[in-house]
Amino acid sequence: MMPFLIADFAASEQLLPLYVCVVGSHDQKRIDRPNGYPFHQIFFSRGGRGTFRLEGRNSKAKEIAMPPGSLLILPSGVPHVYAPDDSAEEWDLGFVAFDGDAAGSVMGQLSSLLNVAIAANDFHGLWSQLEAIWHNISLNGEQAYWESSKQLYGLLLSIRKDQTTARSPKRNRIYPQDPANDALQAAVRLIHDHYQDRLSVSNIARAAGYSPQHFHRLFVQHYGVSPNQYVLQLRMRRAIQLRQDQPGITVEQAAQQLGMETSYFIRLFKRFYGKTPKQYWKSE
């Protein structure tokens, strides 16, 4: 999970033509917005299922089913309600909201993709870009606003490319794969599978087929953080999830499951969330 993160950057709306307002992911509950949302939004349905209901001001309501692997681009000001479907599986929904002087123009370019469920061909790649935005803002604070603007624009371009490529005729052309992107995604999967182990950058790089130096450079370029920072951020997200999955878990048990020494886990958790694990869990 990527806990809800507000990108509260000083005067960003005056500096940037496109900027992130909020970003995150969680097990989605029902949300009712009769007046819409003040910013444009992109939703990413990664697991489970849910439904959006768009309340037309001068037209009939529209229901949009969101299965896993689908996206929804929702303009600002559109009244809507969304909730998980009735099932035992939780709805893992990612989101990013944005605004800026250029936002209207960008949304105009994406007009054919608005207010519909989009079946993403490379959902994993798009989700990785969403995670990169979250990581960048979470780790770098106000210093991240320039980079997050570029990442957001890159994400919007990737969505457009994902759909344009899917709709255009192939004409028997062979498109080469992007081996760097594939290798980085394999490296990220390795990290997610073994985040609780002692992972070294050199071992991850070797598994991806790169030298440690080249791998580090590519990883930072693509995700906005170093591989080590990515691992630490993932462990902190898992700490929140452990508490949700195991309400009675102790700080020591959580640290052990994350592969961390208890005192270091407490210090790192406080650095990320502003509270110790006990303080954070008590405030829930």
Listing DSSP states for 81-121 in one string gives EEEE-SSSS--EEEEEEEE-TTHHHHHHHTGGGBTS-EE-T
Domains, the chain, with CATH or none: 2-167 (2.60.120.280), 178-284 (1.10.10.60)
Name which of 80-84, 97-101, 261-265, 269-273 the model is least confident about: 269-273
What backbone torsions phi and psi does residue 171 show, to the nearest 5 degrees?
50, 35
172 torsion bin: left (phi>0), alpha (psi -120 to 50), beta (else):
left
Average pLDDT for residues 251-276, to the nearest whole number?
90
* Angle in degrees, CA 214, 215, 219, rounded to 5: 120
Read off the pLDDT of residues 84-142 as tens digits, 9 standing for 90 and up: 987 657 899 999 999 988 888 888 888 889 999 999 888 888 998 998 888 888 776 66
Name which of 7-16, 136-145, 198-207, 235-244 the model is least confident about: 7-16
Using the 8-state DSSP alphabet, how is residue 175 labeled?
P
Per the prediction, the chain carries an average pLDDT of 82
Whole-prediction pTM value? 0.59
E strand or H helix at 48: none
Contact call for residues 128 and 183 (beta carbons, < 8 A): no
At residue 159, the pLDDT reads 93
Joined tokens for residue 164: 């344009």
Percent of the chain having pLDDT more than 70? Answer: 85
Average pLDDT for residues 261-267, to the nearest whole number?
93
Joined tokens for residue 262: 């208890």
Contact call for residues 94 and 130 (beta carbons, < 8 A): yes
* pLDDT surpasses 60 at 162: yes
Coil vs helix vs strand at 166: helix
E strand or H helix at 126: helix 123-140
* pLDDT surpasses 80 at 6: no
At residue 12, the pLDDT reads 52
Read off the pLDDT of residues 24-78 as tens digits, 9 standing for 90 and up: 888 888 999 998 999 999 999 988 889 999 986 555 788 999 988 999 999 999 9
The band of 10, judged by pLDDT with boundaries at 50, 70 and 90, is very low
At residue 8, the pLDDT reads 52
At residue 122, the pLDDT reads 87
* pLDDT surpasses 60 at 1: no
The band of 284, judged by pLDDT with boundaries at 50, 70 and 90, is low
At residue 170, the pLDDT reads 42
At residue 157, the pLDDT reads 92
* pLDDT surpasses 80 at 222: no
Question: For 218-282, what is the HEC assignment?
Answer: HHHHHHCCCHHHHHHHHHHHHHHHHHHHCCCCCHHHHHHHCCCCHHHHHHHHHHHHCCCHHHHHH
Q: Chain centroid to CA 107: how far?
A: 20
* pLDDT surpasses 50 at 260: yes
